[in-house]
C-alpha cells in the first residue's frame, strides 16, 4: 500500500510482496470518473470483462471484444495515479495458444498503459502464464468460477465443493508455479480458499471466497447499487445509488412537465453576465 507522500504507482511486485499482509483492496472500473473515485482507496483497479454485462447489457462476458476492453481501459487509465491497473483478456483472445495470448496482451498493454493482464483458467493456462511472464507481461490468474466458462459449468455455480476441491487446488498451485503474481478465487467455499491461501506463495484475491483470502474484489457497480439488479450472496451493498439516481430523474421529469425547471436562475438574460460562463468548460451540452 502506498504511504502518505508516496506518489509512486503500485506495481505487480508490490502486490506479490503483500502476501499475508494487510488485505489488498480491489474494485472494478470502466470509466474515468469511477477510476478517480476508487484510485485513492484501492491497491488494484481491474478493468474487467464484466463491463459487457454492467455497461453494455450483454447476457454474459462472452461477447466482449478486445477493442471494447482497450476502449474502457484507456478511459480508466486517465483516472488513475497510484492503483495498479489490471485489464482482462476477453474470451477468445488468449485460449488458442501462448503466442495468441502474447500478441493480444502486448497490444492491450501498449495501447492502454496497463501494468498487467488477467486471464481465466488454471492448469490449462499455466504454460500461457509462463510464456507471458517470460516476455515481460505480468499476469493475474483467475480460478474457481470463471465466467468465460459459464456454459461449461452450467451456470454461475459455486466451484470446489467435495471432490472438486482438489481440481481448484491444483489450478491454484499451477498458476502460482507458472509465475502469476496473484490469483482471483471466485465463488469457492471458505475452507478451500483458506487452504489455497496458506499453500501458495502469491496473494489470493477473493470474490465470494471468504475473508480467508489475501484481498477482496467486487464489481463497483454492484457494491454501490448502481443500476444493477444483480445481488449475489457475496456482494454487500454499501450504497443504493441507483435508487437515488432514479428518484432524482423522477423529480427532474416532474419539474419539466410542470414547467418548474428551468427556473429563473437557470435562464440567460438578454444582457451578458459573468455568471453566463460555465465553470466546467463543457457548456452543459448533451
Is 118 assigned to a binding site?
yes
Q: Considering 96, 186, 240, 255, which one is annotated as catalytic? A: 186
The verdict on whether residue 88 carries a ligand-binding annotation is yes
Is 49 annotated among the ligand-binding residues? yes
Burial of 234 (0-12, 13-18, 19+ CB in 10 A): middle
Is 120 known to sit in a ligand binding site? yes
Please state, in angstroms and rounded to a whole number, the distance separating the CA atoms of residues 231 and 248. Answer: 23
Cβ atoms of 29 and 220 closer than 8 Å: yes
* φ/ψ (deg, to 5) at 60: -155, -175
Active site residue 186: yes
Q: Residue 186 CB: number of other CB atoms within 10 A?
A: 21
Question: Binding site residues for Mg(2+), as ranges?
Answer: 49, 88, 120
Question: Binding site residues, as ranges?
Answer: 49-50, 88, 118, 120
Catalytic center residues: 186
Amino acid at each position: 500500500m502506498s504511504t502518505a507522500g508516496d506518489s509512486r504507482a503500485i506495481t505487480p511486485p508490490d502486490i506479490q510482496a503483500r502476501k499475508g499482509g494487510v488485505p489488498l483492496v480491489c474494485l472494478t472500473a470502466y470509466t474515468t470518473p469511477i477510476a478517480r473515485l476508487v484510485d485513492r482507496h484501492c491497491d488494484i483497479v481491474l478493468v474487467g470483462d464484466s463491463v459487457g454485462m454492467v455497461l453494455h447489457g450483454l447476457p454474459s462476458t462472452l461477447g466482449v471484444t478486445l477493442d471494447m476492453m482497450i476502449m474502457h481501459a484507456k478511459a480508466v487509465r486517465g483516472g488513475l495515479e497510484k492503483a495498479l491497473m489490471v485489464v482482462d483478456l476477453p474470451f477468445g483472445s488468449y485460449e488458442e495458444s501462448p503466442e495468441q495470448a502474447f500478441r493480444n496482451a502486448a497490444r492491450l498493454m501498449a495501447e492502454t498503459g496497463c501494468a498487467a493482464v488477467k486471464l481465466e483458467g488454471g492448469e490449462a493456462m499455466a504454460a500461457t502464464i509462463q510464456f507471458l511472464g517470460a516476455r515481460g507481461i505480468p499476469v493475474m490468474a483467475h480460478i474457481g468460477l470463471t465466467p468465460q466458462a459459464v456454459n461449461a459449468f452450467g451456470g454461475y455455480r459455486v466451484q470446489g465443493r467435495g471432490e472438486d476441491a482438489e481440481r481448484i487446488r491444483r489450478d491454484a498451485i499451477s498458476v502460482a508455479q507458472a509465475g502469476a503474481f496473484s490469483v482471483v478465487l471466485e465463488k469457492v467455499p471458505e475452507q478451500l480458499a483458506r487452504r489455497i491461501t496458506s499453500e501458495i506463495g502469491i496473494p489470493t484475491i477473493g470474490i465470494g471466497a471468504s475473508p480467508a483470502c489475501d484481498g477482496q474484489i467486487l464489481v463497483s457497480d454492484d457494491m454501490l447499487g448502481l443500476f444493477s439488479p444483480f445481488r449475489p450472496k457475496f456482494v454487500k451493498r454499501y450504497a443504493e445509488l441507483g435508487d437515488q439516481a432514479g428518484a432524482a430523474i423522477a423529480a427532474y421529469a416532474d419539474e419539466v412537465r410542470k414547467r418548474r425547471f428551468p427556473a429563473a436562475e437557470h435562464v440567460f438574460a438578454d444582457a451578458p453576465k459573468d455568471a453566463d460562463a460555465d465553470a466546467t468548460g463543457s457548456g452543459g451540452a448533451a
